[in-house]
Amino acid sequence: MIRLPGVCIVCRAPVVWTGKSWKNPGQRSGRHICAAERAVCGSWMPRARERCARGPGHVVKAHRTAYAMENQYQAAMGRERMA
């Protein structure tokens, strides 16, 4: 079985891709579920019809969706988004 390391795009926790699902490192069954206590800004963005995924009290005034944050992370890492 191929196990590729990665980072969760929502909670930034280390995860492993098993070819079928994302799992926590060392976990044999189940799949990765982001921590419920993870604090997010949560401001409603009417145009995106979704809540802000940035941390609470973010310095930058612009709110971001989880999708936008993923794209920004992928661009910073020098990888293209896999569709």
- The verdict on pTM exceeding 0.75 is no
pLDDT of residue 38: 66
pLDDT single digits (tens) 14-29: 888 888 888 888 877 7
Question: Does residue 4 surpass a pLDDT of 80?
Answer: yes
Which of 77, 82, 80, 47 has the alpha carbon at shortest distance from 62? Answer: 47
Residue 77 sits at the vertex; the CA angle it makes with 44 and 75, to the nearest 5 degrees, is 50
Distance CA 27, CA 22 (A): 10
The length of the chain is 83
Amino acid at position 68, single letter? A
Give kind and range of the element (H or E) at residue 50: strand 50-51
For residue 73, which phi and psi values (nearest 5 degrees)? -65, -45
